[in-house]
């Protein structure tokens, strides 16, 4: 057993080590071996995370060994630069710890420009420099490096796994593997069931059809009904949750991790005298124990859909965007959400629609500047 001076990120204060070493080997020697092993393991991890030493396309052993040896050489160079920067700023920042990763990123970005700006003759002169001259010049250059740009970020305590979180996904996410991953992370799920899960969809739909025709018998059920009236539309939603699954075949039930209930949502809309009815079916895990919980999860899901995804499509025509190359799609998505946030914070035209504000920002440079905070808003 090894007692730690400080607890680990997981809160452990002692480590239990098993060993088959002879009795004359002391506990201190075992502890030193353990620490040495993790120093080596940590080095391999840094070589992979910082320099990508494990190149998967290098299948030949000699090629893979060459790539690894090159990474080790580069890591030694980075370690030297790291110590130079820390030493050069020791007086102003005595606790400075340079990140090897941030340093590698800076070297890569600057090195390409230096190859273009400097002729080959400027590099050849350094081959004859003495180690003392090289060390003095490295310390001189290190003083011009901003410590903040290459400093390590302090890691906080490890975040616990989410408990009591309910994940809602459309029918495309109604997959057995996804349900298992949600449960493994400590969450619960409410998944929409459609024809992509044929056997499950048919079983759930037949059960509710038969129950509505002949009654559910002694099967427990919980119901909640909500009514909303807005802009000439009257919408009634009825949520039904069945927390017992003995009616479902065991092979089908066992395929879904911690499956504990099924639900039905009936939406009745009345607009200008015309009535339409929609039904949606859901499955849920053990954390979903009532129709109220099901209703909150379903409404929360569609709140995100209506307030974000639908708005992005209507205002910025997100679904029509054909940008697919590299990271461009993700970058454009971030820009659209940034613009949407600015439009929603606007107070100059609070009664206008988001679409109208977007068009005004496109045509009015002054209004656009006020949205970006480049000038005071009126």
- For residue 159, what pLDDT is reported? 60
Q: What is the reported pTM?
A: 0.47
- For residue 321, what pLDDT is reported? 78
- For residue 59, what pLDDT is reported? 65
Q: Tell me the CA distances in angstroms from 185 to 127, 171, 173, 174, one per residue in order.
A: 55, 21, 16, 17
Q: What is the dihedral of CA 165, 170, 176, 178, to 10 degrees?
A: -50
Side-chain-side CA neighbours of residue 21 (13 Å): 13
- For residue 241, what pLDDT is reported? 92
* Domain range annotation of the chain: 1-159, 166-300, 321-371
- For the chain, helix, strand, coil in percent to 5 are 50, 15, 35
Q: How far apart are CA 103 and CA 150, in angstroms?
A: 6
- For residue 5, what pLDDT is reported? 66
Q: What is the dihedral of CA 107, 113, 114, 118, to 10 degrees?
A: 170
- For residue 344, what pLDDT is reported? 80
Q: How far apart are CA 142 and CA 106, in angstroms?
A: 13
* Rg value, the chain, Cα: 31
Q: How far apart are CA 80 and CA 245, in angstroms?
A: 64
Long-range contact set of residues 127-130: C-beta below 8 Å, sequence gap at least 24: none
**378 residues of the chain, pLDDT tens digit each:** 555 666 666 666 776 777 788 888 887 787 777 777 767 777 777 777 777 777 666 667 788 788 888 888 888 888 888 889 999 998 888 888 888 888 888 887 777 777 776 777 777 777 778 888 888 888 888 888 888 888 887 766 656 555 668 888 776 777 888 889 888 888 889 888 888 777 888 999 999 999 888 888 888 888 999 888 876 778 898 999 998 888 898 888 888 999 999 999 998 988 888 889 889 899 999 888 888 888 888 777 665 555 666 677 777 777 777 777 778 888 888 888 888 788 888 878 878 887 888 888 888 888 888 887 776 545
- 12 and 4 Cβ atoms separated by less than 8 Å: yes
């Amino acid at each position: 057993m090894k007692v730690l001076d400080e607890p680990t990120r997981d809160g452990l204060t002692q480590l239990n080590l098993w060993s088959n070493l002879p009795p004359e080997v002391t506990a201190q020697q075992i502890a030193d071996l353990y620490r040495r092993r993790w120093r080596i393991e940590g080095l391999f991890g840094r070589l992979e995370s910082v320099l990508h030493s494990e190149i998967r396309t290098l299948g030949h052993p000699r090629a893979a060994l060459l790539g690894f040896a090159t990474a080790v050489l580069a890591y030694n160079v980075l370690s030297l630069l790291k110590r130079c920067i820390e030493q050069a700023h020791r007086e102003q920042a005595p606790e400075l710890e340079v990140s090897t990763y941030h340093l590698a990123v800076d070297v890569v970005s600057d090195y390409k420009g230096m190859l273009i700006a400097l002729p080959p003759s400027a590099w050849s002169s350094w081959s004859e420099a003495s180690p003392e001259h090289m060390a003095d010049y490295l310390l001189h250059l290190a003083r011009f490096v901003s410590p903040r740009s290459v400093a390590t970020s302090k890691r906080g305590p490890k975040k616990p796994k989410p408990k009591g979180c309910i994940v809602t996904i459309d029918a495309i996410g109604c997959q057995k593997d996804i349900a298992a991953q949600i449960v493994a992370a400590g969450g619960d799920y409410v998944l929409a069931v459609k024809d992509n899960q044929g056997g499950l969809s048919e079983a759930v739909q037949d059960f509710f059809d038969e129950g509505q025709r002949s009654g559910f018998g002694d099967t427990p059920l919980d119901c909640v009904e909500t009514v909303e009236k807005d802009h000439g539309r009257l919408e009634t939603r009825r949520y039904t949750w069945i927390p017992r699954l003995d009616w479902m075949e065991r092979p089908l039930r066992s395929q879904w991790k911690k499956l504990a209930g099924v639900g039905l949502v009936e939406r009745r809309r009345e607009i200008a005298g015309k009535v339409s009815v929609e039904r949606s079916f859901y499955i849920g895990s053990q954390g979903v124990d009532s129709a109220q919980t099901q209703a909150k999860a379903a409404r929360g899901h569609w709140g995100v859909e209506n307030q974000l995804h639908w708005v992005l499509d209507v205002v910025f025509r997100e679904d029509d965007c054909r940008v697919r190359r590299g990271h461009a799609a993700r970058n454009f998505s971030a820009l659209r959400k940034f613009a949407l946030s600015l439009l929603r914070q606007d107070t100059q035209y609070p009664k206008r629609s988001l679409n109208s504000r977007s068009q005004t920002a496109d045509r009015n440079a002054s209004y656009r500047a006020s949205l970006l905070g480049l000038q005071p808003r009126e």
